[in-house]
Amino acid sequence: MSGPVAVATWRFGKGAVEGALKALRDGGTALDAVEAGIRVVEADPEVDSVGLGGAPNSEGVVELDAAMMEGRTLRVGAVAALRDVLHPISVARKVMEETQHVLLVGEGALKFALEHGFRRQDLTTEESRRKWREWKDAHDTIGLVVLDGEGNMAAGCSTSGSAYKLPGRVGDSPIVGAGLYVDDDVGGAAATGRGEDIMRYCSCFLAVEHMRRGLSPQEACLEVVRRIYEREGKVSVYLVALDREGRYGAAGIKKGFPYAVGSEGRSLLLEGAYLVEG
């Protein structure tokens, strides 16, 4: 059996895989590792697409989407269009563990978070307000898949979604099967890119099903982006995947998808496979 492995989207995923592996070293579960890893990125004001300092919607308000899934039980918790809470991944976990529901949105999600001890805070920064005033494009997601040393897997993702979206818009990240999926029998995947395209192809569920029928994580990601490319052309869709053996891979339709991988003692940045130059 493989030792612990974590794989995450984008350059900022390095902080997430390192946070996840530390949580496992400290005796945490795969779920603890996903939560800890994603919290690192949510708290970083330099990351302009997740948590604090994330891109606001068209009205200048930050609305966050996040989800968490457990590979052993297929339990899922998610929040969408959640305002004013720094760690939506932790609220998503509470939805999973303390309610009978999968997804809470908007006002209801905020009320639930406040009732569970989360603090209300302004998530804009000087920089995010400046960019909003200039209306620059920004989006990305921290997606993280973790395998602990005992064959347990978990996946999570967190994002402020597409920049300057309509208030109430929900992307792929909190939608199970779209932005994330994990099954201990097979492996897991997480997505980033244009949520509207990722969702319509049930991308992460599809990646896991490709692994179930024998494809490697890398081939599975490529197969998903190929399917989308055939109908949609050069849209922004990127996936990372990790299987129960600890094998990992990543792919996008277009070139330019750095992703992070970590296993005991080290983490590194790699370039995802791609179909077209750009």
In angstroms, rounded to a whole number, what is the distance separating the alpha carbons of residues 33 and 242?
A: 15
Which stretch, 116-124, 125-133, 137-145, 225-233, contacts ligand ASP (CB under 6 A)?
A: 137-145
Q: What whole-number distance in Å separates Cα of residue 177 and Cα of residue 19?
A: 24
Q: Does 254 help bind ligand ASP (rule: CB under 6 A)?
A: no
According to CB under 6 A, which residues from 191 to 210 bind ligand ASP? 192-195, 198
Q: Which stretch binds ligand ASP (CB under 6 A): 38-46, 54-62, 123-131, 134-142?
A: 134-142
E strand intervals along 89-245: 103-105, 142-147, 153-159, 180-183, 187-193, 237-243
Q: Is 54 or 262 the residue whose CB approaches ligand ASP more closely? A: 54
Q: Which of residues 158-177 bind ligand ASP (CB under 6 A)?
A: 159, 161-162, 171-173
Name the residue nearer to ligand ASP (CB basis): 24 or 38: 38
How far is residue 192 from each of residues 70, 80, 159, 178, 196, measured CA to CA in Å? Answer: 19, 16, 9, 10, 11
* Residue 5 or 178 with smaller CB distance to ligand ASP: 178
Inter-residue contact 242 to 5 (CB < 8 Å): yes
Which token pair is 21?
Answer: 């592996």
Among 139, 210, 244, 254, binds ligand ASP (CB under 6 A): 139
- Cα gap 107→123, rounded to integer Å: 16
Among 140, 183, 184, 209, binds ligand ASP (CB under 6 A): 140
- Minimum CB separation from ligand ASP for residue 139, in Å? 4
Output 36 or 198, the one with its CB closest to ligand ASP: 198
Nearer to ligand ASP, 30 or 142 (CB): 142
If 0-12 CB within 10 Å is exposed, 13-18 middle and 19+ buried, where does residue 233 land?
exposed
For 46-97, strand residue ranges (E) read 64-70, 76-82
75-100 burial code (b ≥16 CB/10 A, e <16): bbbbbbbbbbbbbbbbbbbbbbeeee
Q: Based on CB atoms, which residue is closest to ligand ASP, 4 or 37?
A: 37
Binding to ligand ASP (CB under 6 A) within 58-87 occurs at 65
Nearest approach, Cβ of residue 171 and ligand ASP (Å): 2
Choose, from 9, 141, 159, 192, the residue flagged as catalytic.
Answer: 141
Q: State the nearest-atom distance from the C-beta of 272 to ligand ASP, in Å.
A: 13
**Shortest Å distance, C-beta 71 to ligand ASP:** 21
Asked about 73 being catalytic, the answer comes back as no
- The string of DSSP codes covering 179-213 is TEEEETTTEEEEEEE-HHHHHHTTHHHHHHHHHHT
Distance CA 276, CA 40 (A): 32
Residues recorded for the chain: 278
Binding site for ligand ASP (CB under 6 A): 65, 139-141, 159, 161-162, 171-173, 192-195, 198
Would you please indicate which residues are annotated as catalytic (active-site) residues?
141
